[in-house]
Structure 1
Amino acid sequence: MNNRDLVDRARHAGLSMRWRDSAGQIHRVSNESVRRLLAVLEGHGGPAAAGLPPMVVTMVGQVTPLVLPENTQAADFRIEMETGEVMEGPLRRIRGRPALPPLRVCGYHRVSIGPHATTLAVAPQACPTVGTRMDGAGSGRPWGLGAQVYSLRTPGDGGMGHLGAVATLARLAAARGADALAISPVHAMFAARVGQYSPYSPSTRLFLNVLLADPLAVFDTATVQAAGLRNGKAYVDTVRMLEDAPLIDWPQAATRRYELLRRLYDERIVPNPPAELAQFRTIHGAALEQHAVFETLHAYFTTRGGRGGDWRQWPLAMRRPDSPEVARFAYEFAHDVSFHVFVQWLAARSMEQACGAARAAGMRIGLVADMAVGVDPTGSECWARQQEFLVGASIGAPPDALSPVGQDWGLTTFSPAGLQVGGYRAFIDTVRAGLAHGGGLRIDHVMALERLWIIPQGGTSAEGAYLSFPVRDLMRLVALEAARANAIVIGEDLGTVTASFRAVAQKHGIMGMNVLFFERTPQGAFKPPGAWSTNATAMTTTHDLPTVAGWWQGTDIDWRVKLGQMAPGVDGVTLNDERENDRTALWAAMMAQRDAPTPAARTMRRKSPATKPPATADGAAKVVDEAIGFVARASCPLAVIPVEDLLGLNEQPNLPGTTTGHPNWRRRYPGMTATLLSGVAARRRFGRLRAGRSS
């Protein structure tokens, strides 16, 4: 094969053979890497369809050009709308191409042209805005909290947080004026792989993490407590120990939680299955059954060897969800399959109650869910939808100054060709699942709608390349699903994101994120809050960044020095010197804005700091107060403050680039959820938040 053929194949597959790093240097992807990636990409999608594509995506009020199959004689169209209305007429011609007339009704409509048919997805101009969700009610600009679900504490929780605690937190936050509660991902994990617990490494994004289910969403307290006692003294003693621990012991806590859920299922559900459970099973249909069967198969093969955790190593017949052998297995292990359906129902009930609690308490936006950028290739979603995912590749980031060897996240993503051949069903289902209960959705690494760094299986990140996605269609579908759910959408757009992408995202109503540490001028000064984006959510920090108190005291630097996680040529002394300069700059910015009376004045006014920055050892609490007030004044339509900052905690939930050494996703909040927001410091910071958002 000559190089020209390779370039043509790569271009057709959407694979870039060159990429630019953060320093602006151009790199070329090796021919060998391109060949390995093409072997994965060209294995998806199948042959070109003879008729219309399975889905055509357009926008409301827009003429929709079509590419009709050759020899199509039909000159008329017929559109059967979701509403039941029918629209018929002659095809128009736009620059010589046949086209459908503009439609004013959003939704998924059925189009017929002669013998050919397709689904026409008509999207609104943009996602609902924060103002739309607020519906003109109240005064001031809305704000909310951000929480790690697993970190919340409630009596008897078995050592990990759950969605019942989210409901409690939502009620308490709403009582203090919050209109939103952003939560960590709640995607389904692996029942038989309790050591995998990063919420961003799910088995599937279509269903929920059943470990976060609250048994009290279905059962009364006496029933749950009695079930725990019947598991024996060792169980009770272990659970008590787990509940008192400052960190989550995921393998232990997960094992104990499944024991409790299994006993509740065997003793309460099997003898008397509720009608609501049967209805849930019917509504979610084949997708739920496949996930439940996968969980059962995964547990079965995991106990029979080290390779059993990866469905790609199972016997050939078991790798196909529609095989007769899988059907026989599901029949033989129907009790176990039904258990996994039950725990999904329990998790869904828990999520519904948490969302209902937020709305009932007065939150006008409500829960904002979080959608991970990809899924584990060994999980249920890839097993069930193999043609729609790149199961032979992983995603990550190219080499850069901080990570010279690049990053491999151990996840995979959609196949662009598979998406299009499948009528975007996998993408729509994922977004719809994320929007199923709450008032908003945060899309992690939103740049993935346009491109992702993909790595051939078994290769290094340096052997990867950027893969393009049909960004226009995907953004329109996000807007359509968000409009149907009446929900806001936030895109995590930190890091290297092009200005053109941000412009397109803004056009479609996808908000970005303005995080305190990154809102700087080209000269390095911290921007005044009045200069922050009007199309972003303002935040003090995120789960992947240091807390304000931790940043001020250099806790994150201490961790990086301890773990040797520094760029070449950089040491702890250099990092601490840079941080000292940043502390001075941040304090100056906060003091300059503290007393400015209006947003316009805040943008224009400059003052010298009223005082010197407080010492790092004893001044962190004061800095947290000022930082929250500073971010609250931002021009952004929504501000979200993580619970870690509201409480002035030093440690961050996750330290990127580490898998051991730092307790990622294991930290618990210091106190029961019912009293978490009641401390003097928290009340003071709520006051800063309310004052800043009302100005």
Structure 2
Amino acid sequence: MLQSEKQSQYIDYDLVSRTKYKLLKSLYRQFKQNASLKSQRSFRRFCQTKSNLLSAFAEDERAKFWQWLAHEQLNHCQKLCLSLGMQTGLINDLAVGCAKDGLEFLTNESVFALNAEIGAPPDPWAEQGQNWGLPVIDPKKMADNNFAYFRQLFKENMQYFGALRIDHVMSLRRLWWCLTVNQQQNGCYVYYPFEHLLAILKIESHSNNTCLVGEDLGVVPPEVTSALASSGIFGNTLFYFEKNHIGEFKHGNDYRDNCMLMLSNHDVPPFAAWWFGEDIDLKVSLSLCSDHEASNLKDQRQIDKQRVLNWLNKSELTLESDVNILFNELVKTLIQTPPKLFSLNFDDLAKQTLPINIPGTDREYQNWRRRILTTIEDVFSSQQSLLNDLTDLRKDND
């Protein structure tokens, strides 16, 4: 890949794909020519063990080799994490759906509904609602073969990991279907066999010794939150969303303990951008809101910024304080609250201002393409003092 491409702000996935497959084909050729007997046996054993899943590749040995390569690398990476003292190691992320042109959909098409796509209803962070363009599972068809597709999906996604984060975990209970009615975009909630799916999820979690985190942000039925808690499944708490009935940020001691707490995540702007209102300016530039709407949003943001200062309750901090100092104080306070898990957004550590994703957009913004130009080593080196402080505070809090 060209060095200039590696330094561009956004990833060219067409170029990445061409480069990746060129290298993967070369790896397969090298394997066929020079693989040790041990590697050959490991590959054959993998193909036998995974024969049902790999049947979609028919006689395409090269595609099976690539699957084996991923299997070996994930196994090695998890073992390395644990050997270095990590209690959980890798955390996998299970997306809410799959691509229409992907192998998962094409080999299980009978389980999916026709003429519907996964999305979400309007909320304060995506006022027009969202259509994610992903096919939806038919709740009547998914029970076929004793929920075979669902069970296999979770089993495979837990195999190499210490924990599994389930995106949009509310979909176990109900899912927003985006439909076209009389050439107009519409939608409705469709309900799923929640008790059956939750039982399967807990069984697979126990069988694979994998911790579960359910992303329950947005419009969440109360029975989902209570079921996660009673099942030993962590929920997900985002600082921005935790407000009381008068709009003030909740006291940290009021946070539930059975969750993963975050200041920000991939669906909201990095803290620095939020603090300076740069996410609002970006929306205006992308014609996602009018100047009048932006003015109202900025007025509300000023109120929320003062609420952050009220929440921190540190007299030396003001609206004019350095944003990096504010961030440090905020995360050091958050890490001392009750939630058992705490996650830092790498975008915040890397002091990013451009978002990685803007919910509700498709072609307006280059979602999931923004590159962090600072190396991982440099980010951690520059933030080592903060990370040490957070580690010490967490130990003291325990």
SS in 1 for 2:2: helix
**1:588 partner letter:** N
Gaps of 5+ in 2: none
Deviations 1:319-340 (A, max 9, x none): xxxxxxxxxxx5xxx4xx2111
The equivalent of 1:282 in structure 2 is: 48
Name the SS for the 1:422 alignment partner: helix
Question: Structure 1, residues 462-484: CA drift from partner, whole Å, max 9, x if none?
Answer: 43321111101111111111111
Greater share of helix: 2
What residue in structure 1 maps to residue 28 of structure 2?
Answer: 265
* Counterpart for residue 190 of structure 2: 467
Q: Distance in 2 between matches of 1:631 and 1:586?
A: 12
Q: CA deviation at 1:580?
A: 0.9
CA drift of 1:659 comes to 2.2
Q: Partner amino acid for 1:573?
A: S
Q: Distance in 1 between matches of 2:366 and 2:109?
A: 33
Residue 407 of structure 1 and its aligned partner are, at CA, apart by 2.5
Give 1:270 shift. 5.5
User: Which residue number corresponds to residue 278 of structure 2?
Assistant: 555
- For residue 377 of structure 1, report the CA deviation from its aligned partner: 2.8
For residue 365 of structure 2, what is the aligned residue in structure 1? 662
Counterpart residue identity of residue 318, structure 2? P
CA distance in 2, matches of 1:458, 1:261: 44
SS at match of 2:344: strand
TM-score by length of 1: 0.54
Residue equivalent to 1:584: 306
- Structure 2 equivalent of residue 140 of structure 1: none
**Structure 2 counterpart of 1:469, one-letter code:** Y
Distance 2:329 2:213 in 1: 25
User: Which residue, 355, 369, 387 being the options, matches 1:686?
Assistant: 387
Give 1:113's aligned residue.
Answer: none
Alpha-carbon distance in structure 2 between the residues aligned to 1:434 and 1:534: 25
Report the CA distance between 1:692 and its aligned residue.
3.1
The corresponding residue for 2:237 is 514
Instruction: Give the Å deviation of 1:614.
Output: 3.9
Structure-1 separation of matches of 2:389 and 2:97: 37
Query: Is the 8 Å Cα contact of residues 350 and 374 (structure 2) preserved in structure 1?
Result: no
Find the counterpart in structure 1 of residue 318 from structure 2: 613
- Contact 1:624–1:648 (8 Å) recurs in 2: no
SS at match of 1:556: helix
Aligned pair partner of 1:626 in 329, 332, 335: 329
**Secondary structure at 2:141 match in 1:** helix
- Rounded Cα–Cα distance in structure 2 between residues aligned with 1:688 and 1:628: 10
Write the letter of the residue equivalent to 1:416. P
Corresponding residue SS for 1:245: coil
Q: What are the Cα deviations for residues 599-655 of structure 1, in whole angstroms up to 9, with x where unaligned?
A: xxxxxxxxxx4135242xx72111110121122112001111111122332222111
- Structure number with greater Rg is 1
Q: Give the Cα–Cα distance (whole angstroms) in 1 for the partners of residues 123 and 185 of structure 2.
A: 10
Distance 2:324 2:337 in 1: 21
Give a deviation string over 1:7-63, Cα, whole Å, max 9, x none: xxxxxxxxxxxxxxxxxxxxxxxxxxxxxxxxxxxxxxxxxxxxxxxxxxxxxxxxx
Distance 1:572 1:396, change over 3 A: same
* In structure 2, distance between residues paired with 1:571 and 1:341: 52
- Point out which structure has higher relative CO (alpha carbons under 8 A, 6+ apart): 1
Is 1:428 equivalent to 2:131 in the alignment? no
Amino acid at match of 1:657: G
CA distance in 1 between counterparts of 2:212 and 2:103 reads 26
Q: Distance in 1 between matches of 2:366 and 2:386?
A: 27
The alpha-carbon deviation at position 438 of structure 1 amounts to: 1.0
Give yes or no for contact 1:367–1:439 (8 Å, CA) kept in 2. Answer: yes
Distance in 1, Cα, partners of 2:183 & 2:96:
19
Alpha-carbon shift at residue 364 of structure 1 (Å): 0.5
Letter in 2 for 1:692: L
Instruction: Give the RMSD, CA atoms, in angstroms.
Output: 2.3
| Residue 261 (structure 2) pairs with residue 538 (structure 1) | yes
Question: Aligned residues: percent identity?
Answer: 27
1:385 partnered with 2:108: yes
- SS of the equivalent of 2:90 reads strand
Q: Structure 1: where are the runs of 5+ without partners?
A: 1-237, 293-329, 593-608
Kept in 2: contact 1:530–1:633 (CA 8 A): no
